[in-house]
Chain A
């Protein structure tokens, strides 16, 4: 099964490499292929823009467009006259999005999850997310909220088509105005406390940056214009733009700009926020938490329903009566009535609730594998494994801060020999056996098998266990063995390697082992887990040294689309330390990179400017080669696929997929298509 996952991952990631920029599935985008490998033909002809043809639901598949059916509870409301008929709620027949799936489902039941309150907003946010364009498991994007798009030759102007008659969850029409409102009234004025996303920015060949312009064509068409080519706009939009629209009609009743400061503040207080700013942030960014805030999502939070508090002990998201997707039979989605979230204060409780069959879908730890198997019958669940795109197991990634403040250490950390020493000082076989309870093998930090830039050599580079050689390497780095049996700096001062990690990373075991191995080759090592926030703080202020299991591990689905963990773009991943800040501030702050690291940054600039996808891939591979050469991130164990437990009776759940943020973690399972048999 694992191998299948890898094969899939291979296709997926290669495609992203090649297809970026080519509007792969444009036009026909409104139809979701059953998530299988895409037709190679599309892959063969990059950069060719595709005309968007208004799509209709092929009758062959849905029968007459007129007969749509809906969930019983909604039917009841319609009959009671409390709700317009399903035809009126859905977009125009031609523009309805049809989800094609392995099996057509039936209505009813609910999904139950455990969650940690508002902290888990991304969990239930991702599984209900509806972006303009969404990823498919094969790594290509397809229109979602959008119906389709055109793009001009040099990828500077995108024309996006929306779905006629599509409605917000409060029944108000969804139009191009909502898109422009979002961009001009919320993104640019930073209404929700976020600076404009990179996906709306573009750097031209001269390196000067400019932001996109949105322009309404008609109610259901808008244009996005860039000063310079932006071939990966849609993918980036799908990743960090996520959604690109807001209910103008709703915001015009609360935003200061439209109703005045104090009025807005009053509104905010009514809604329970400290002030208009907080209101803007919460309703604008984490809007899916907000009762009554119109969305396009399959499940929404109603203003008047009892369990609509996303921080309550029990939180329920209910079916959106105006949801705009149907299945082949014309049944309005979603199948499942509601999503229920039970607040837990300790992971063990989630485990118990999985065992007793309460929880329907959850990712679980391999450490609990045995007890899960033991109670399979009772819980009525089964295992699903989704591939990971992490370069190495999270707790087995060691990031040596290349810009660590201590000069002597910096020299050391920048020295490949030292990194090699730390790498080969560890018996990966034993390490993996203990840390993964025998599920994983030892490995170097490298792209997932099958992903872009993966090579056998890379995965095995510096992985042989050889303490003697490690010692030699350390000495070659200028360290001298001290009286206490530990290496000192040439000037005789003690050398202590301070490993840092955050408390809930569960890296204690691996840290313990590493300390042992390092100690054996004569490196005095300390280890203290601090609160995640503290670690983050250290990273941003460049006070970190060697970070194990960082909050932002080297894991990327595509270095082109999501580079920040492996390429210095801002204060983010620990290994490149202050270089990130240097890049972000265009050299004003931070530490200027040197050598290969500098080369990496330069390459990334080229990458961003590159128009041609082939060229992009070429550059990307070069960048990865630099990583392979330097092993900036030391990995000790392969990343295990995400182990998922799901109720046996749930249908249409992807047997194998990739668990990564780009695919919105669980979101790629398209929960609106899942149902109980």
Chain B
């Protein structure tokens, strides 16, 4: 009868409330955090773009073009002499001011190049697997479309930013994961076993965190062998960055473990003869997983900034391989800022990403303690 199932439903609701797992509650709470949700979407988008980077980017990383060195973004027109002919760009030609010898690019109105969707361009492997030469968009032969202008070697900045995101969005992530794992393991060991191990480890942590990062970067990246493929360089950089940033987490984990070791349920598990690792992984870590996840998300932006700093010091990835750090480092010149401001656009990509990660982190933090 109706009433009955109404009540049953209510009962179920109640049980849900009491029995709902911490994660469900976190999710609920997180969904409430508008900014975090928005950020989640933004990041999702960015990672999507990165994933399909080679498809979205009209050009590849070695598409040097001496005709468009430092060329500004190309205007995309719809109308030619008043009549609509769909999106197209004019040809650009470089001229030098006879007096000042200054360089300038002007549109050549009688060259028209239509913008095409799904055109054939440089060949690439999608996801490193599918060989193809289809690009999202491009212009007819002979023309160039530069959404964000060109760099000092006549490459399309837009393409470079897109392809750079593949590094800048993955390397820090991997880095964070590595330092995350390192932090848990080392901190865990210190906190769980205590005693001599603990004091040794915490000394090391102390020293590492008292050392400025730069010398570590310099030393470690000096130890990267010269003739290794660029792809591998990413990995090394990642390890370098994470090698430095695990200490903070380790310290926290250690603290948590020390306090937890005394907790009854751990004692119980111990007495019950559960294996050490099982205790750590199954019983202790979940105890503050939410916290760890927060610190993980909040760790990533630091990594991104770190990557740019390394590029600034010339320790990072090297062109033609590209990361946002590389692009920023190229933009970090008076000439770029004054004459080619479009080279600063990648900065916004960085800012947005960092903000997004931070907001998500905050959202998670608020959600981490749902009963509050």
Contacts and interface: CB of A to CB of B under 8 A. Distances in A.
A and B touching (C-beta < 8 Å)? yes
A503 B338 CA distance: 25
Interface of B: 62, 64, 66, 69-70, 94, 96, 100-103, 152-154, 226-227, 314, 318-320, 332-335, 338-339
Nearest to A431: B66
Contacts, number: 72
A472 B100 CA distance: 45
Contact of B64 (A351, A352, A434, A526): A434
A509 B339 CA distance: 19
Contacts of B70: 437
B51 to A, nearest CB: 26
B226 A434 contact: no
B127 to A, nearest CB: 22
Given A516-B64, A526-B227, A437 B339 contact: no
A373 interface: yes
Contacts of A371: 334-335, 338-339
Contact of B66 (A367, A433, A527): A433
A203 to B, nearest CB: 40
Contacts of B100: 373
A373 B338 CA distance: 12
Given A351-B334, A434-B69, A508 B319 contact: yes
A481 interface: no
Interface size class of A (residues with CB under 8 A): 20 to 34
A457 interface: no
Contacts of B64: 430, 434, 513, 516
Q: Which 4 A-B pairs have the closest CB atoms?
A: A433-B66, A528-B226, A526-B227, A430-B66
B334 A368 contact: yes
Contacts of A373: 100-102
Contact of A438 (B96, B226, B227, B333): B96
A434 B227 contact: no
A406 interface: no
A65 to B, nearest CB: 48
A369 interface: yes
13 contacts: A351-B335, A367-B152, A367-B333, A374-B338, A429-B66, A430-B64, A433-B66, A434-B154, A438-B94, A438-B103, A496-B227, A498-B227, A513-B153
A351 B154 CA distance: 24
Interface of B is mostly: loop
A348 interface: yes
Interface of A is mostly: helix
Contacts of B339: 370-371, 374
Contacts of B320: 512, 515-516
Given A371-B339, A374-B339, A434-B66, A509 B227 contact: no
A523 interface: no
A578 interface: no
B335 A368 contact: yes
Contact of B227 (A367, A433, A515, A528): A528
Nearest to A430: B66
A22 to B, nearest CB: 41
B92 to A, nearest CB: 14
Contacts of A98: none
Contact of B152 (A348, A352, A437, A515): A437
